[in-house]
Structure 1
Amino acid sequence: MKSKSFRIFWLFLATALLINLLQSYFTPLIFDEAYYWYYAQNLAWGYFDHPPMVALMVALGSYFFDGELGVRLVSCLLSAGTLAVLWATVDDPRKKRYVTAFFILVFSMALLNAYGFFTLPDTPLLFFTALFLYVYKRFLTDTSAGWAIIMGLVMAGLMYSKYHAALVIIFVLLSNLKLLANKYAWLALLVALLTYVPHFIWLYQHDFVTIQYHLFDRPNAPYSFEKYTLGFFVNLMAIFGLTFPWIYLSLFRTKSTDTFTRALLYLVYGVLIFFFVSSFNRRVQTQWIIVTAIPLAIITFRRMMHDEKINRSIITAGLINIAIILYLRIGLVYEELSPVYYETHGNKALAKEMKSKIGDTPLVFINSYRNAPMFAFYTGNDTYSMNNAYYRRNQYSIDDSELRLQHRKVLYFSRRPEKADITFTKSNGGTFYGEFIENFESFRKLETIVDGPIRMDTLKELTLKIHNPYDRPVELDKLRFNVAYLTDFKKVKNAILIHPRPIDGQLLALPPNDTTYFKFKLPAPKMKNPSYFRVGISDNGLPFGLNGKNTEILY
């Protein structure tokens, strides 16, 4: 019996892996995957939005295969690994009779299914969460230096995957505060921190740009019950589909009978409460709570083995889920079979058309860290995302992509039909308006600094510092300046031209690798009580950029 269940388990797992590999090969990239592929072109210990694990995954897979399969290979392997670890974590001897039920449960989880082949930071996050829980369970029964070191390495893997991993570690710790007096638990923490040092160094070298963005600079919007809090509850259902009532029923019926089960419960309830509270401040994205799928898979599978009614209900609803998911997965590949237009559709064909008409001409996109890597992947051309004052910073803001395009002929997608030299239309009807620039030159890395906060009612002249990080002077006659006023939610409301006066009146250019001082008057805002302002720079008539940090305004 054991041998038969063993063979059935590995048959299911191998079939799932094969399906995911085939899906990976035939499905065009989604925009986020293209962005992470772009990360992987220059491996580093960190990136603007995320830690480096997702880039390493792409680089490893691309070493063995070209194209989409290379981007997704490691994701497919980690997904299979996640299921194997989940199975190993459940040590109930009755599980050998529920192999099929286990796979119906995990295959029916919509997002867990998607992360079976998409390469996103959540894919390694799910794998390392499952592995962390498995290792923690072993650590509880064999509290030794060996398991402590392994647990420390797994914790580092968690944190190298996504910053949300901190919640996994924190809530497991809160479930067992006796760990604070355990020398081996401290050893695990020390190993994790030492392993994470390279990323800490990267953050320091880049002025903690990732932390700064996620905690302080990310734009928000006024609270909306429908979009924020109600949306949070919709997400709780969406990550599981039709099986959600029985999954949450299994959660509610599970009691904290041992230390490991308490860790599972703390992890689920902790993450859900954390993001429920967050929903009163910002929209909670569905993938932010996907980590709960790991402990809930364990909790639910345990319940299925003890409650035949729940088992039958999940199998029935799960099979319907799986049928829907399979249909949608086919639609990712074949646009004509998809009930909706999805982001895998149209980009590959459009890139082929672009390549045939413009050859190797570099592509410059306005405000699109999505399009720039997507068309770099499918055309092989150099691309660049030029971010203006109404957008947000991203990896293109801190890397050298701008430098590769200087003084070259580029196709600039201006979004202005009247300026278009050439147009391209996607299958969904979206149009790209391309304008050729014969000698492209931009200075997006110029940094404007205004010390604050400032009081609007006592304002006279302000000092503006402009740092030029380039190795050559930047002529002032190529630059224009403005002040962008922002709301309390860091949204730009209006922008007004200004004319800063160099303290050195004879200044004609910003000296290289140096900071220059100017004086300017803050113009009267055309909005009521702005909360922040920042100074932007337009280079050679291009849109004003994101050149400075937000300066707080006091009243």
Structure 2
Amino acid sequence: MLAKLPKTLLYLLGGLLLANLLQSAFTPLIFDEAYYWYYAQEMAWGYFDHPPMVALLIKLSSFFFDGELGVRFMSCILSVGTFLVLWQLIDNPKKKDYVPQFFVLVFSMTLLNAYGFFTLPDTPLIFFTAMFLWVYKKFILEPTWPISIALGVVMAALMYSKYHAILVIVFVLLSNLKLLRNKYAWLAVAVSLVCYLPHLLWLYQHDFISVKYHLYERPNRAYDFNDFTVAFFVNLVAIFGLTFPWIYKSLFKTKVNDKFTRALIFLTYGIILFFFVSSFNRRVQTQWIIAISIPLAIISFNYMLQNKEARKWIYRMGLVNIAIILYLRLGLIYKPLIPFYYETHGNKELAQEIKSKIGDMPVVFENSYRDAPMYAFYTGSTTYSLNNIVYRKNQYSIDDSESKVQHKKVLYVSGYLTNEDLSFTRSDGAVYKGKYIDDFESFRKLKCVIEEEHIVLDPNTEHVLKVYNPYPTDIELKKIKFGLAYLNPYKQVQDILPLKPETTDQNALYLKARDTTVFTFKLPVPKTKNPNYFKVGISENGLYLGLNGDNIKLD
């Protein structure tokens, strides 16, 4: 395939690869990358927030390089691969005369550019969306057993990248409902399900914790027209930058004359419509709509080949986009170039400063799945994110990281401290406060279970609370205290009140190891008016209440 590519394209892709490799090597990690690097330290078929593809990319990268490039190498490879697949998806024979225009169009797309070196779940999502369309195009031309199997494997790879991938598959299916009567299509579905079975099994074993979090447990806030819906349209502009008028014009002007073009149109409009509707419920993040970059790259370049005016302006504005993007990319490395803080700035230096004060001592960060892995990456020290009742669960809630800091002297870093032993200031002005704990002990895996799905808010009614202790040792009841948080309709904590449940066994002194202890309790009178949910948490050894119970609906 490479032998048939224009030399100009090969030179440009070689330059792209080199630029992304250099950028990867010299740009400090962003927080999400550090979190996904943490994923990759213990490979699994699933993680709290995402499927495992991003962890696999990082693990593969680490076989080739150390440091930041050991996190990002495969992203650089996939970026070039995405360009190659997009090129193959253009059938117009005139394309060889406009190689620079093609490169400028794709390279000027802001998030496609950024994910050329950042390693995030959207990185493989972009590549496998392109691959899916490439294989699907072959499938609709001549479905065969091998192509069906390939289509199924790619669909599974899409779903292993990010759960949003289901939108890509569904909207392409909706563009061609005759696939429902196609035996080759059903073979592809069967293959994809077989390939995806390990992750489905992982979800089952973990009580579908990822699905529950994304669909039900994720905090939200009241609808804000500007910050939700208007921001959604701003995102539609932001992913293309200054070329957006001509890119969307190409979408409006494109006529459906074959099944593949129909798939591109359905995919683009489908994702836009889905997240437009979603914007009335929550704030849509820019990267959630990134998949439209792939079909629109194909649609736009085909339009450019037919329309001289569009070709001229996309090329001109694309070059301006690229100039701005390259300047900002340099600013990710060298802070004085940009007049604002970005998360690549200062984290490495801060981690090394803290380590110079405390040595190899483990660090427990309260409520920070971002800081814990960042510190671990740049120091090699043991870290743990202790999540409390006003925060959210994350990978640290379900793995064995808690066990690695038990009964050790740690630096405990928290925003709730009033008397600290150490303090440090981050580049964005945030202050770290830490205190030493000589014998750290936490029980964040204690599970509070209330079997009633709906409870009437009545302080006089008694309810049953079951506490499961998954640890191999008994836990003294005197070490723990219970509390209850009331939440608003958006699952934001409003009140935190003490709770004094009573055991059915009045002589109980312990939560027995790998056993369930039954308590009864009454709801405390809330301070907030008409709360919508509540959840129970446990405080151990004077620490802040943990995330031990699920949200329970109040009637």
Instruction: Report the TM-score when normalising by structure 1.
Output: 0.98
Shift of 1:457: 4.2
- 1:281-430 equivalences under 5 Å are 281-416=281-416, 418-430=418-430
Alpha-carbon contact 1:473-1:512 (below 8 Å) kept:
yes
Change (3 A) 1:468 1:255: same
1:486 corresponds to: 487
Shift of 1:426: 2.1
Counterpart Cα distance in 2 of 1:4 and 1:140: 24
1:543 corresponds to: 544
Counterpart Cα distance in 2 of 1:384 and 1:226: 37
Counterpart Cα distance in 2 of 1:363 and 1:344: 21
1:231 corresponds to: 231
Counterpart Cα distance in 1 of 2:42 and 2:324: 38
Shift of 1:535: 0.8
- 1:432-511 equivalences under 5 Å are 432-452=432-452, 453-457=454-458, 459-511=460-512
1:135 corresponds to: 135
Shift of 1:4: 9.9
Shift of 1:517: 0.3
Alpha-carbon contact 1:414-1:434 (below 8 Å) kept:
yes
Alpha-carbon contact 2:129-2:294 (below 8 Å) kept:
yes
Counterpart Cα distance in 2 of 1:476 and 1:314: 68
Counterpart AA for 1:231: A
Shift of 1:3: 8.4
Q: Deviations over 1:210-257 (max 9, x none)?
A: 000000000000100011000100000000000000000000000111
Give unmatched runs, 5+ long, in structure 2.
Answer: none
1:19 corresponds to: 19
Counterpart AA for 2:201: I
1:115 corresponds to: 115
Partner of 2:401: helix, strand, or coil?
coil
Counterpart AA for 1:483: L
Give unmatched runs, 5+ long, in structure 1.
Answer: none
1:212 corresponds to: 212
Counterpart Cα distance in 1 of 2:418 and 2:273: 51
Q: Deviations over 1:55-113 (max 9, x none)?
A: 00000100111100010000100011001000001111110001000000011101110
Counterpart Cα distance in 1 of 2:510 and 2:78: 53
Counterpart AA for 1:294: I
2:89 corresponds to: 89
Shift of 1:471: 0.5
Counterpart Cα distance in 1 of 2:177 and 2:340: 48
Counterpart AA for 1:432: Y
Partner of 1:456: helix, strand, or coil?
coil
Counterpart Cα distance in 1 of 2:441 and 2:4: 67
Counterpart Cα distance in 2 of 1:415 and 1:208: 31
- Share of identical aligned residues, percent? 61
Counterpart AA for 2:522: K
Change (3 A) 1:546 1:346: same
Counterpart Cα distance in 2 of 1:373 and 1:3: 43
1:254 corresponds to: 254
Counterpart Cα distance in 2 of 1:308 and 1:300: 12
Counterpart Cα distance in 2 of 1:459 and 1:216: 29
Counterpart Cα distance in 2 of 1:395 and 1:5: 43
- Structure 1 residue ranges, 4+ long, deviating more than 6 angstroms after superposition: 2-5
Counterpart Cα distance in 2 of 1:3 and 1:461: 76
1:6 corresponds to: 6
Counterpart Cα distance in 2 of 1:429 and 1:136: 49
Shift of 1:415: 2.1
Instruction: Report the TM-score when normalising by structure 2.
Output: 0.98
Alpha-carbon contact 1:451-1:551 (below 8 Å) kept:
no
Q: Deviations over 1:16-53 (max 9, x none)?
A: 01100000000000000000000000000000000000
Alpha-carbon contact 2:458-2:523 (below 8 Å) kept:
no
Q: Deviations over 1:170-190 (max 9, x none)?
A: 000000001011000000000
Counterpart AA for 1:302: N
Shift of 1:414: 2.2
Partner of 1:495: helix, strand, or coil?
strand
Q: Deviations over 1:394-414 (max 9, x none)?
A: 000000110110000000012
Counterpart Cα distance in 1 of 2:497 and 2:47: 32
Q: What root-mean-square deviation, in Å, do the aligned CA atoms of Structure 1 and Structure 2 show?
A: 1.2
Shift of 1:5: 6.7
Counterpart Cα distance in 2 of 1:402 and 1:3: 53
Counterpart Cα distance in 1 of 2:395 and 2:213: 12
1:176 corresponds to: 176
Greater CA drift, 11-20 or 409-418: 409-418
Counterpart AA for 2:374: M
Counterpart AA for 2:494: K
Shift of 1:301: 0.3
Change (3 A) 1:221 1:253: same
Alpha-carbon contact 2:459-2:523 (below 8 Å) kept:
no
Counterpart Cα distance in 1 of 2:148 and 2:449: 46
1:532 corresponds to: 533
Shift of 1:449: 1.2
Shift of 1:300: 0.1
Shift of 1:263: 0.1
Alpha-carbon contact 1:331-1:339 (below 8 Å) kept:
no
Counterpart AA for 2:450: V
Counterpart AA for 1:309: E
Counterpart Cα distance in 1 of 2:173 and 2:468: 44
1:103 corresponds to: 103
Counterpart Cα distance in 1 of 2:41 and 2:130: 29
Counterpart Cα distance in 2 of 1:29 and 1:490: 31
Counterpart AA for 1:316: R
